[in-house]
Each structure stands twice: as structure tokens, then as C-alpha cells.
Amino acid sequence: MAEYAENVYAKHITKDNLDESYVYFDAVGGNVSTLIDNLDGFSDGVTFTTSAVQTPTDLYQYTSEILNSIAWTDKLDKKFKENFGNKSIKAWQYIGLSNGVYRFYPGASWPKGSRNLMQYYDVRQRP
């Protein structure tokens, strides 16, 4: 997976025109209608359609750097789905970047009841 991610990143062309209209599944504020409740191995609703993204609260998520990180890691969904389909990986798959972008698959909203705590998760501070 690491080699695949490195190749995806190397091919990414930075776009300066990404702004607040760029759409992605935000794990903290997201609401996906395709969430499947209580799937085996997952305690909360998940979606296999897309991964989800979380950024620390101290970051403005609409900067060019953050949006470009979200854009290139979006291309990892193909590999996430492939890995999950092989039935060898039936757990969370994720990538955390040094700029604070955290993407995980399958996509999910932060668990109910802990939403206020989970939004403070910072991949730069904890693995």
C-alpha cells in the first residue's frame, strides 16, 4: 500500500483552483446516505463507496495544500477497495499525512456520542 500511495502522490498534479466547492466525505461533518449499520467487524455505520477524511480542528481545511492532499489521497480508494475485496483485509485501512490529513476506508462518520472528542484527533500527534 505504501508503494502504491507513493506512486499516486508522484503522479498528482497540484491544482491551485481547489476551493470550498471541492466535495469529499468529511468524517466529522459528513452525512452519507449509503452507510450500512452494524456490519460485521464494524461497530458503526460504514460505506464501501468511499473513504472518509478528517482534518484537525486547528487547520483550515480549504487551503490549497490541504485540498490537494485530500484530492490525491482520494485516488487511494481504488486500492482500499481492492484490498478489502481480496478478503485478506477486513479491517480499517488508513493513511495519515504530516500536514494533518487523515483518510480511512471504509468511510464512516465519527461514532455517535464521541463526535466532540473524535473531531480533535490529530494524526500529526498520534498514530
Q: Does the structure show a pLDDT above 80 at 116?
A: no
- Indicate the pLDDT class of residue 69, thresholds 50, 70 and 90: very high
pLDDT tens string 26-54: 877 665 555 555 566 666 678 888 899 98
pLDDT at position 61, please?
84
How far apart CA 106 and CA 84 sit, in angstroms, is 9
* pLDDT at residue number 23: 78
- Indicate whether 87 pLDDT > 90: no
User: Which of residues 28 and 61 earns the better pLDDT score?
Assistant: 61
- Per-residue pLDDT at 114: 55
**Dihedrals φ, ψ of 100, to 5°?**
105, -10
Q: Based on the structure, what is the number of domains in the chain?
A: 1
Range of the domain at 15: 1-125
SS (H, E, C) the chain: CHHHHHHHHHHCCCCCCCCCCCCCCECCCCCCCCCECCCCCCCCCEECCCCEEECCCCCCCCCHHHHHHHHHHHCCHHHHHHHHHCCCCCCCEEEECCCCCEEEECECCCCCCCHHHHCCCCCCCCC
